[in-house]
Structure formats: structure tokens, C-alpha cells
């Protein structure tokens, strides 16, 4: 069986659109990958397998009927727990918001759905999304899938770990002070800005402790693995094995 979780987002969308593979197949493998590796890294803290499979079937039905399913047709994605997704708590990593259930989707989630992406889970963040590591008293500690001794970064460390481990092809993150550029260094992922500052999407947070802000994703690229980049900077040596089979860089 082809390991579809190893494919990139563009490849998946192209193959699904051309009916070489189905969105349902991709989603089933993504959900299986989630079950296989997430217990070791705690990247995804809220799951929605039934909704994900239903969304995948809708994408397949649209393509079968000759309609466009979107530029992200069938691509498995995760979203961070600090933005609204209908029916799920926008916890922002703090206990007092564990019952802060969203009544509607944020613009980010709405746009992902419109593009045909399949949301397979919601990823961890530090309390108030304000740390360079990803740990909180509500959802616990997220580990770097390449090396448990290294942080996946923060505040979008759950997103980075999920992508690096092959749970999803794309992960939503927020960046106010380097959250995404830092985690790319540590988890060997790439982040990209979806548009100019005038087109950035609002978080539309329901949190009573945090006002909505416009969060863009700042570009950062590295060709080094997280462990290599980290140990070179600090002059150390990397001897530990990856926690899980990581997605190719």
C-alpha cells in the first residue's frame, strides 16, 4: 500500500483532483497515522474522525460529479486550538477555557473548508499561545517527533509536530513574535505567509482573555533537520533516535 501520509499537500490535491486517489483514502491513512504516532508526541489534542471522513466523502462526491473541490482537495490539515472551530473548545491551552466551545468557524477554518481541505484534528499550544515550547496543564506536553529531548517549538509546536510526523500535510499556526519561524528551525518544516499583510486572516477568537488579532504566517526556510540545526547552534551532538518515523524534509 502506498504511504499517502508521506505525500506533500500539492501532490495530494493534484492526485485527488485527477481521481488517481480518493480523498477518503488519504483521510483514512491520515487518521490511522494519527492513531499510530500521536500517543508518543501529543501533537493533536482534539480529534474528529467521523467529521473528517464525511468531509472527505463530500470532496470525492463533488469531483465525481464534475465539480471543483478546491485547491486543497482532500489535503489533511490540522488547526490550532486557539482559533474557533464549530463544536470544539477554543482552549488556547488554558483550563478556564476548556468549555469555551465555538458556535461557528473562524475565517481560517471556513477558508480551509472552502478550499477542500480535510481537518483531521486540532493541535496543542502553550498556555495563552505565549511560549517558545508547547506545554500546558490542560493538554500536556508536545514532543518533537525527531527527538524527544528537543522542543518542537512554540507556540505552534503542535502544528509542527503533526506535520513532521506525517499526521497532516499542512498545519495551521499563528505567529506574532516568531512562533512559526522558530518551530521550523526545530522541527524541519517550512512556514509560509498566505498573502500580504492586507490579506491576513483574523483569528476571531472567542476567548474572553484575548482579543482577536490579525496573525500572519511569516516566511522561514531551513534545509537542516531540527536536531541538526539545534545541535550545531549549541555545539552539541545528536545521538538519539526519532520518536516516530518522520515525514521526509
CA separation for the pair 82, 156 (Å, rounded): 10
What residues contact residue 124 under an 8 Å CB cut-off, 6+ apart? Answer: 42, 43, 44, 45, 81, 93, 134, 136, 139, 140, 142, 157, 158
CA separation for the pair 73, 209 (Å, rounded): 35
CA separation for the pair 249, 174 (Å, rounded): 21
Name the active-site residue from 179, 205, 207, 227: 179
Look up 137 and say whether it is catalytic.
Answer: no
Q: How many Cβ atoms are within 10 Å of 245's Cβ, its own excluded?
A: 15
Name the active-site residue from 80, 106, 205, 227: 80
CA distances from 59 to 3, 7, 63, 111 (A): 20, 18, 6, 15
Contact predicate 155/203, CB 8 Å: no
Look up 80 and say whether it is catalytic.
Answer: yes
Residue 150 DSSP class: S
What residues contact residue 235 under an 8 Å CB cut-off, 6+ apart? Answer: none
Look up 179 and say whether it is catalytic.
Answer: yes
Name the active-site residue from 155, 159, 205, 207: 155
Beta bridge pairs of residue 141: 135
CA separation for the pair 201, 43 (Å, rounded): 23
Query: Which positions are catalytic?
Result: 80, 155, 179
Amino acid at each position: 500500500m502506498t504511504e499517502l501520509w508521506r505525500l506533500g499537500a500539492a501532490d495530494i490535491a493534484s492526485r485527488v483532483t485527477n481521481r488517481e486517489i480518493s480523498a477518503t483514502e488519504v483521510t483514512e491513512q491520515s487518521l490511522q497515522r494519527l492513531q499510530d504516532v500521536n500517543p508518543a508526541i501529543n501533537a493533536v489534542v482534539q480529534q474528529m474522525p467521523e467529521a473528517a471522513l464525511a468531509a472527505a466523502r463530500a470532496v470525492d462526491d463533488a469531483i465525481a460529479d464534475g465539480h471543483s473541490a478546491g485547491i486543497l482537495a482532500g489535503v489533511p490539515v490540522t488547526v490550532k486550538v486557539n482559533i474557533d472551530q464549530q463544536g470544539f473548545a477554543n482552549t488556547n491551552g488554558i483550563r478556564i477555557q476548556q468549555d469555551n466551545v465555538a458556535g461557528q468557524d473562524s475565517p481560517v477554518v471556513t477558508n480551509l473548508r472552502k478550499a477542500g481541505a480535510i481537518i483531521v484534528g486540532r493541535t496543542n499550544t502553550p498556555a495563552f499561545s505565549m511560549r517558545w515550547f508547547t506545554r500546558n496543564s490542560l493538554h500536556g506536553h508536545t514532543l518533537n517527533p525527531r527527538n524527544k529531548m528537543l522542543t518542537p517549538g512554540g507556540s505552534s509546536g503542535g502544528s509542527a509536530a503533526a506535520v513532521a510526523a506525517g499526521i497532516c500535510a499542512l498545519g495551521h499556526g499563528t505567529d506574532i513574535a516568531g512562533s512559526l519561524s522558530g518551530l521550523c528551525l526545530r522541527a524541519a518544516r517550512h512556514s509560509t505567509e498566505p498573502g500580504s499583510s492586507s490579506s491576513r486572516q483574523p483569528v476571531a477568537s472567542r476567548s474572553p482573555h484575548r482579543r482577536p488579532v490579525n496573525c500572519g504566517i511569516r516566511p522561514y526556510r531551513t534545509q537542516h533537520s531540527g536536531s541538526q540545526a539545534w545541535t550545531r547552534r549549541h555545539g552539541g551532538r545528536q545521538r538519539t533516535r526519532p520518536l516516530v518515523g518522520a515525514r521526509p524534509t
